[in-house]
Amino acid sequence: QSALTQPASVSGSPGQSITISCTGTSSDVGAYNYVSWYRQHPGKAPKLMIYDVSNRPSGVSNRFSGSKSGNTASLTISGLQAEDEADYYCGSYTSIVVFGTGTKVTVL
Amino acid sequence: EVQLVESGGGLVQPGGSLRLSCAASGFTFSNYWMSWVRQAPGKGLEWVANIKQDGSEKYYVDSVKGRFTISRDNAKNSLYLQMNSLRAEDTAVYYCARDSVTGANFDYWGQGTLVTVSS
């Protein structure tokens, strides 16, 4: 299984919205509504932010939203805040979970 | 509060062995699949292995098959990863993670333990 493709970096100013893409194939992202998104601050463990394409776990801000179209999933962060600066990984279920290449989000 | 605490990492020579442990609390451990996920320095996440609630099913990424063994002790609320024939490319932070009910994502993660394979 190959890693899903994400942009290496995305940046935005405080208050702006950004979108991170996650491109897979018809065997992973396109096959199931099981895309998840994780945020990872430097030196910390990943944290689940979105599951099953667009669902937020309890306690996750509604500034985070997810969607999917065909073989590409997206994570949108609205009202960008300094604490959002981190690495973000998508994941897709294919009988196992395959992760994306990761995107570094910078808040300008 | 769900907690996962890994231990057992360290420096090991190529070809050596190491056993990682993960102590779980705050949930009914025996009700969940559990996984190990690793992250090489400066790299992305890679799922390594998972194990069914009763230990009857185990799955591994191809690169560790035959070298790593995942196991669990539900009486001790603990997850393990026995790593043999270690290679430099196994160097990573190893995270213990709880599989969600659907098995399609990981809803809780430990803080990780660093394994360094080097001579």
What does the pLDDT read at residue A96?
85
pLDDT digits (tens, 9 = 90+) for A33-47: 999 999 999 999 999
Cβ pairs bridging A and B (under 8 Å)? 61
For residue B5, the tally of other CB atoms under 10 A from its CB is: 14
Q: Does B111 touch chain A (CB under 8 A)?
A: yes
Q: What is the rounded distance in angstroms from the CA atom of residue B77 to the CA atom of residue B32?
A: 11
CA distance B47 to A95: 12
A1 pLDDT above the threshold of 80: no
User: Nearest CA to CA, how far is A67 from chain B (Å)?
Assistant: 16
pLDDT of residue B82: 98
Determine the Cα–Cα distance for residues A79 and A60; give it in Å rounded to an integer: 14
Q: What is the pLDDT along chain B (119 residues), one digit of tens a residue?
A: 999 999 999 999 999 999 999 999 999 999 999 999 999 999 999 999 999 999 999 999 999 999 999 999 999 999 999 999 999 999 999 999 999 988 889 999 999 999 999 99
Assess whether pLDDT exceeds 80 at residue A60. yes
Residue B75 CA from chain centroid, whole number: 18
Mean pLDDT of A52-63: 95
B97: its two tokens: 């993670």
| CB pair distance less than 8 Å for A36 and B103 | no
Residue A16 sits at the vertex; the CA angle it makes with A11 and A17, to the nearest 5 degrees, is: 75
Strands A86-93 and A103-107, by their bridges, are: antiparallel
Q: What's the pLDDT score for residue B103?
A: 80
Looking at the complex, report in whole angstroms how far the Cα of residue B96 sits from the nearest Cα belonging to chain A: 10
Section A62-70 average pLDDT:
97
pLDDT at A2: 86
Q: Is B27 left (phi over 0), alpha (psi -120 to 50) or beta?
A: beta
- CA nearest A44 in B: which residue? B111
What whole-number distance in Å separates Cα of residue A57 and Cα of residue A54? Answer: 10
